[in-house]
Structure 1
Amino acid sequence: MLPSHNQSTITILGAGLMGRLLAVELARKGHAVEVFEAQGPDAQGAAARVAAAMLAPLAESAVTEPGVVRMGHYALPRWQQLIARLPRPVFFQQNGTLILWHRLDAGEASRFQHKLTQTQKLIPDLAPLQMLGGAQVDALEPSVASRFAQGMYLPGEGQLDNRQLLAALEAAMQELGVKVHWNTPRATEDFAPGGTGQPDLVLDCRGLGAKPQWNTLRGVRGEVVRLHAPEVTLERPTRLVHPRYPIYIAPKEDHTFVIGATEIESDDMSPASVRSTLELLSAAYAVHSGFAEARIVEIATQCRPTLPDNLPAVRSVRRNVLEVNGLYRHGFMIAPAMLDVVMEVLETGQSALAPCFDLSVQLA
């Protein structure tokens, strides 16, 4: 899709996770990149700002398709490459995922284990899950000692700090000369790519902001709590299996923890409910009593852009306009794969990677 001359002029709509990744990658390749973002550089309007940024393909296989799982597996080494080139440090760890449950929820845990085992048979490249007895749970994560009689460990899974990453990508855009227009919303119809005084190409990465172009796009609300808990020393993302609100606890640097679970079919971006907040905090306390003395840093909500099949898509329904959307709850886990697929499409007009991920790429 890119013109044959060496440097193209490219306009990107939206400076969330995908918009920033593409801006940096394209600028590094010598293209003149301009970005229009409806909000400010702190990414307040982006789903990526309100996220745990867990990179957990096997754990997520309980709620998503094999193609997304493959994208997540691909992303783990790719994120390390991408982060290494950024001008600011970004917290990244690959200590695996710990799954815990209380005795009353053993049936739910068994169903969860069955789903993961089925995924492993389908995608044997994934590191196999390990079933843990109480003593093994205590040895792996001493801070939850004697609280759980069983657990599962998913080796190799990881996480990063979403806000550090967004800030590092912003710094990279500045270094590379990307021209960014903050608080300046634009739509695809505002441009006539290829015309005089117009960009060669427009990339639409606006998420829910592109809803007029995707009449099937919907928001799925998520709610998270950020805590500072000096008494808690979890070394890896921990998930608590529960039939109604399976939660995750993602440890960041300096005893900061992101706790979330809720997934509500709604475009409502109002503050979190008391019920949801109490459930998150109660479940966190059930994992580690040190959360009782934690300080609530933030309670945040956001809606993730989601297509009817809950899968991402890349499409071009108009010449020299490419749309990327539908990352749903898996944004950080699949973003590197989405980035590389889009770059292939731009450079060659097709993508050899997309079929590996069962990714829908529709080109006009």
Structure 2
Amino acid sequence: MGRLLALELAREGHRVEVFEAKSADADGAAARVAAAMLAPLAESAITEPGVVRMGQYGLTRWPELIAQLDEHIFFQQNGTLVVWHRQDMADANRLCSLFEKNRRINPSLPALQSLGAEGLNNVEPALQGRFQQGVYLPGEGQLDNRQLLAALEKTLTRLGVQLHWHTPRETTDFTPGSAGQPDLVIDCRGLGARTAWQALRGIRGEVVRVHAPEVILQRPTRLVHPRYPLYIAPKENHIFVIGATEIESDDMGPASLRSVMELLSALYTVHSGFAEARILEIATQCRPTLPDNLPAVRWLDERVLQVNGLYRHGYMISPAMLDITLQILRSGSTELAQRFDVAVHAQPAHAAA
């Protein structure tokens, strides 16, 4: 959120500075660990309709945002495949019922396509013979988050944005509006903002990255799992992101043996070629989450604006949250927040536009 906002504000001619607690690689942020899937219908099973509408908005907005950047970004919109093993049939049926229910709530979502063994082989030949049933969710997408973060850094530098790495800041370090200070502070620190937004909590997630030259998947594949949604997101050059556990905890410690075994066992059952994959990384991060699991914008005072609570949907909903924030800054109000049911808290009467 911080880099996207900095880019848009710099392009509008504002003088922008970015303060980041860690490095340019975003090594302290959930943004680096995430799989960056853009899957509103798939996520509709576990979130609210407003978040789903934000995800649909993001699918059309992301290509516009990527086109502004100075480097190649992997972006794919080949849909999502959901598969399951026979013993998980009951869970799969419940999941598909949720998809259908959410399509009735939001008819603009594409219709899921039920697939038998032959249909699965046609959609994803690499999985031939491994599953007898599945569903295909057309139109869903993904991008490469690490390429995006690097491209944003490069483009911000070209635009003259001052980037301060390894420079943690609190909102209280600034007195916006006074001499030598910024006119406005925008706080996008995720869990780093808990000193000012105490309702934030962490939802721990563990993710594995592997290099598997023997495997070709054409789209993100989700495996129905009794404990949490598991996904395999294929990136360029046979890199795959596998995740993600979801644990009510802000523990940033190393991944547990149980979680890694579950992720890797599921990976192998999807495609035997993963047996020879090389593990590149086992990463842990915590998603910044508000009590209702929904994002929000909040005026801390008339010159400090906070954007937070993107939870597990960061890349899916960040274009919508970006444009909501820009509307607030430009006019003091936002039609998009109403459209997407995003809370805008405690806006002072004299908030600076």
TM-score, with length taken from structure 2: 0.97
In 2, the alpha carbon distance for the partners of 1:294 and 1:198 equals 51
**2:224 alignment counterpart:** 241
**2:291 alignment counterpart:** 308
The answer on 1:110 being equivalent to 2:93 is yes
SS of the residue aligned with 1:232? coil
Q: Structure 1: which 5+ runs fail to align?
A: 1-17
SS of the residue aligned with 2:50? helix
SS of the residue aligned with 1:304? strand
Task: Please tell me the residue identity of whatever aligns with 1:162.
Answer: N
SS of the residue aligned with 2:320? helix
**2:351 alignment counterpart:** none
Paired residue for 1:154, among 121, 134, 137?
A: 137
SS of the residue aligned with 2:222? strand
Residues 327 and 333 of structure 2 are in contact (CA less than 8 Å); yes or no, is this contact kept in structure 1? yes
Paired residue for 2:55, among 69, 72, 90?
A: 72
**1:229 alignment counterpart:** 212
Paired residue for 1:199, among 173, 182, 200?
A: 182
**2:302 alignment counterpart:** 319
Task: Please tell me the residue identity of whatever aligns with 1:360.
Answer: A
The answer on 1:36 being equivalent to 2:19 is yes
C-alpha deviation, 1:43, in angstroms: 0.4
**1:170 alignment counterpart:** 153
In 1, the alpha carbon distance for the partners of 2:229 and 2:52 equals 19
C-alpha deviation, 1:197, in angstroms: 1.2
C-alpha deviation, 1:261, in angstroms: 2.4
* Stretches (4+) displaced over 2 A: none
In 2, the alpha carbon distance for the partners of 1:321 and 1:172 equals 25
Paired residue for 1:210, among 193, 196, 207?
A: 193
C-alpha deviation, 1:349, in angstroms: 0.3
Q: Structure 2: which 5+ runs fail to align?
A: 349-353
In 1, the alpha carbon distance for the partners of 2:228 and 2:14 equals 46
In 2, the alpha carbon distance for the partners of 1:205 and 1:164 equals 20
**1:345 alignment counterpart:** 328
Task: Please tell me the residue identity of whatever aligns with 2:15.
Answer: A
Q: 1:325-340 maps to which residues of 2 (within 5 A)?
A: 325-340=308-323
In 2, the alpha carbon distance for the partners of 1:130 and 1:274 equals 36
The answer on 1:358 being equivalent to 2:341 is yes
Task: Please tell me the residue identity of whatever aligns with 1:83.
Answer: I
C-alpha deviation, 1:321, in angstroms: 0.7
Residues 228 and 246 of structure 2 are in contact (CA less than 8 Å); yes or no, is this contact kept in structure 1? no
In 2, the alpha carbon distance for the partners of 1:197 and 1:293 equals 57
In 2, the alpha carbon distance for the partners of 1:231 and 1:201 equals 51
In 1, the alpha carbon distance for the partners of 2:335 and 2:228 equals 38
In 2, the alpha carbon distance for the partners of 1:45 and 1:293 equals 30
How many aligned positions are there? 347
**2:165 alignment counterpart:** 182
SS of the residue aligned with 2:227? coil
Identity %: 68
**1:144 alignment counterpart:** 127
Q: 1:258-269 maps to which residues of 2 (within 5 A)?
A: 258-269=241-252
The answer on 1:24 being equivalent to 2:20 is no
C-alpha deviation, 1:246, in angstroms: 3.0
Give a deviation string over 1:104-136, Cα, whole Å, max 9, x none: 111000000011111101111111111111100
C-alpha deviation, 1:317, in angstroms: 2.6
In 2, the alpha carbon distance for the partners of 1:287 and 1:245 equals 16
Task: Please tell me the residue identity of whatever aligns with 1:184.
Answer: T
Give a deviation string over 1:208-240, Cα, whole Å, max 9, x none: 010011111101110000000011101000000
C-alpha deviation, 1:244, in angstroms: 1.9
Task: Please tell me the residue identity of whatever aligns with 2:296.
Answer: A
Residues 176 and 184 of structure 2 are in contact (CA less than 8 Å); yes or no, is this contact kept in structure 1? yes
Paired residue for 1:58, among 16, 41, 45?
A: 41
SS of the residue aligned with 1:323? strand
RMSD across aligned positions (CA): 0.7
Task: Please tell me the residue identity of whatever aligns with 2:264.
Answer: L
SS of the residue aligned with 1:311? coil
